[in-house]
Amino acid sequence: MQTSINLLKQENELKIIKDELDIYLEIPHLAYAEVKKKNGGKALLFTNVVDRKKNKKFEEPVLMNVFGSYRRCEILFGRTIESVADEITKLLHLKAPNGFFNKLSMASDLFALKNIFPKKLKGEGVCQELKYLNENINLYDVPVLTTWEQDGGPFITMGQVYTQSLDGNMVNVGMYRLQVYDKNHLGMHWQIHKDSSHFFDQYEKAGKKMPVSIAIGGNPLYTWCATAPLPYGVNELLMYGLITKTPAKLVKSLTNPLYIPQDVDYVIEGWVDTSVLKIEGPFGDHTGYYTLQEPYPVMEVSAITKKRDRTFLATVVGKPPLEDKYMGWATGKIFFPLLKTTVPDLLDYHMPENAGFHNLILAKMQPHYKGHAKQFMHAFWGSGQMSFVKHAIFVDENAPKLENYENFTSYVLDRFAPKCMFITEGILDALDHSSPESLVGGKLGIDATAAHKVNAPTILGDEELFKKVKNLIPDAINLYQFMTRTKNPITVISLNKTKKVREYFDVLAELHEHVRIVVFVDDAKNDVQNGYMLVWRVTNNMDAQRDVFISGLMVGVDGTNKNSLDSFNREWPDDVDCNLAVVKSLKQRGIWDLDEKIFKDFQL
């Protein structure tokens, strides 16, 4: 960790903040503002960390936004992201070589692979220089942050969670949020689809307690590896060896059988009683909404160990853009070769950060036959973490670059017709709040690989169109049209909703000559001209089976918050918003330096 901090200093990618700042809201609010700046701002090292509620001052600094730019990702990886992807591609296509020199070259490549496997050491690591057992265990002695005012408590947000199968043959490193309940208990937010949850099921059936060790810090690559979407049963630390060409060096935990990297900054060891669940949350999550309270397993801490010279690593989540934008970029590039083994005709894919990644994927493919894109959709929705994707848009090889949103959107809208859409049902991320039931809901695929001949509508000005809409929908408050130069312009209408949105859409049928795609949002908290945040809001709020309507060439999308008007029986979560009193205090102390326009544009 110290090596990484020094490297970021040398590269002018680190900002040191010496002002006294609280682990409750202040530190995470500043990190949240920093990542919104151009190119992700700087990594932040807070050196004067306090807990005012407990009248405590911490020895260690807190490091945040470490992965929060493309440049910092490559600095920490020590190589280009593309070079890692190229290496994986090479490994996937190894063939028996012809000729002596080719055999030598292959032997050299295979010999280098010996360094990817983690190495178990005897004795203790520097992560165990300080030991806290029995009555000396106190999670409140670790500077765990409370990020948002509605959070259920402090949460560890960049913990490497080490678990193993019941027989010990498989190990997993995952990154899950961990709620601090008291001085020696943590909430385990591993979702039902995760490897740790599968291991938990094994221990539960056997009636045994499950060992868990949580590492924080060390080489930041350990943390990235914990997020890597590797197949079930594959040790994520293999990626560390592949990237760095050195094996992760592991030592055994003091009070359970798990091994952790010897140079991490903290280790929290313990056991999960599989017969006990406890309410976890709420938590302001990367969806930009609070995840609601639900029962999850509980870990009883059996030991805490630390380095003497340590740094606490954390991240902040909420509305985009966030640090996970850059971590996700690296993940997408690196694991593209593995995805191509499932769908060989995939040319490129991209997950826009303002759709929270799993809410929207853009994909470019080489279509070979009718229905090929729909086949791709099924492959995506049945492939590892891709199965959580809610909305997918597929284009052919002639489409613009996927990251060029303006040209990409024009390309899709000029080829779109309602029959391009494919709506089905599948599994959803546990964080999704929009579906009528948890963990399963509607999915939308759009096949834009072939162009459909559709005449453009007669475009009216926003003011003229709004008058006509207002006559039909008195609840309409505002209107704005996007992409009017295309054959399928998008009309956004904000409402004070008093009925089902389908009823508003149906009365717009008489305006079919002027509108094509109509998106409805609540007037509260939405700016109809802010396309970036509308994508965030709508992809979060819609369930394709319930919220997509078709009438001739017109398509309606309901992006409003759902309530009893929609026969929605689940609780609808609040937006994640900054505490304005905290922001005001930071401004008065001269610490907050985020431009007001950025604050407004990203609806903080």
Give the C-alpha separation, 349 to 393, whole Å: 10
- Residue pLDDT, tens place only, 361-418: 999 999 998 889 988 888 878 777 788 899 999 999 999 999 999 999 999 999 999 9
Decide: helix, strand or coil at residue 528.
Answer: coil
pLDDT of residue 243: 87
C-beta separation of 13 from 72 below 8 A: yes
Asked whether the predicted pLDDT for residue 534 surpasses 60, the reply is yes
C-beta separation of 335 from 301 below 8 A: no
**What would the mean pLDDT of 412-435 be, rounded to a whole number?**
92
- Which DSSP category does 437 fall into? B
pLDDT of residue 357: 79
- Residue pLDDT, tens place only, 56-95: 999 999 999 999 999 999 999 898 888 888 877 776 555 5
Looking at per-residue confidence, does 199 or 340 come out higher? 199
Q: Which residues of 87-105 are buried (b: 16+ CB within 10 A; e: fewer)?
A: bbeeeeeeeeeeeeeeeee
C-beta separation of 488 from 516 below 8 A: yes
Tokens matching residue 506: 């149906």
Name the superfamily (CATH) of residues 342-448.
UbiD C-terminal domain-like (3.40.1670.10)
pLDDT of residue 342: 76
Position 111 confidence tier, pLDDT thresholds 50, 70, 90: very low
Asked whether the predicted pLDDT for residue 515 surpasses 60, the reply is yes
C-beta separation of 58 from 50 below 8 A: yes
The answer to which of 198-202, 284-288, 299-303 has the lowest mean pLDDT is 198-202
Whole-model pTM over 0.95: no
Position 102 confidence tier, pLDDT thresholds 50, 70, 90: low
pLDDT of residue 86: 82
pLDDT of residue 330: 85
**What would the mean pLDDT of 294-314 be, rounded to a whole number?**
96
Asked if the domains at 2-314 and 462-566 fall in one CATH topology, the answer is no
Of the CATH numbers 3.30.413.10, 1.10.287.70, 2.30.110.10, 3.40.640.10, which one belongs to the domain with range 2-314? Answer: 2.30.110.10
Position 109 confidence tier, pLDDT thresholds 50, 70, 90: low
Which residues of 320-467 form beta strands (DSSP E)?
346-350, 361-365, 391-395, 421-427, 440-448
The per-residue pLDDT of the chain, averaged, comes to: 91
pLDDT of residue 95: 54
Q: Which residues of 273-293 are buried (b: 16+ CB within 10 A; e: fewer)?
A: ebeeeeebbbbbbbbbbbbbe
pLDDT of residue 93: 53
pLDDT of residue 125: 95
**What would the mean pLDDT of 7-22 be, rounded to a whole number?**
97
pLDDT of residue 564: 93
- Residue pLDDT, tens place only, 454-500: 899 999 999 999 999 999 999 999 999 999 999 999 999 999 999 99
pLDDT of residue 5: 96
Asked whether the predicted pLDDT for residue 115 surpasses 90, the reply is no
User: Is domain 462-566 in CATH 3.20.20.80, yes or no?
Assistant: no
Give the C-alpha separation, 503 to 520, whole Å: 12
Can you give the length of the chain in residues?
Answer: 604
**Residue 143, preceding bond cis, omega within 30 degrees?**
no
**What would the mean pLDDT of 123-135 be, rounded to a whole number?**
96
Q: Name every residue whose Cβ is closer than 8 Å to that of residue 268 and which is 6 or more positions away in sequence.
A: 139, 142, 159, 186, 213, 214, 216, 301, 303, 304
Asked whether the predicted pLDDT for residue 96 surpasses 70, the reply is no
**All structural domains of the chain with their residue ranges:** 2-314, 342-448, 462-566
Decide: helix, strand or coil at residue 223.
Answer: helix
* Per-residue H/E/C for 543-567: CHHHHEEEECCEEEEECCCCCHHHC
Looking at per-residue confidence, does 29 or 226 come out higher? 29
Give the C-alpha separation, 16 to 45, whole Å: 5
- Residue pLDDT, tens place only, 261-279: 999 999 999 999 999 999 9
**Which residue type is seen at 279?**
I
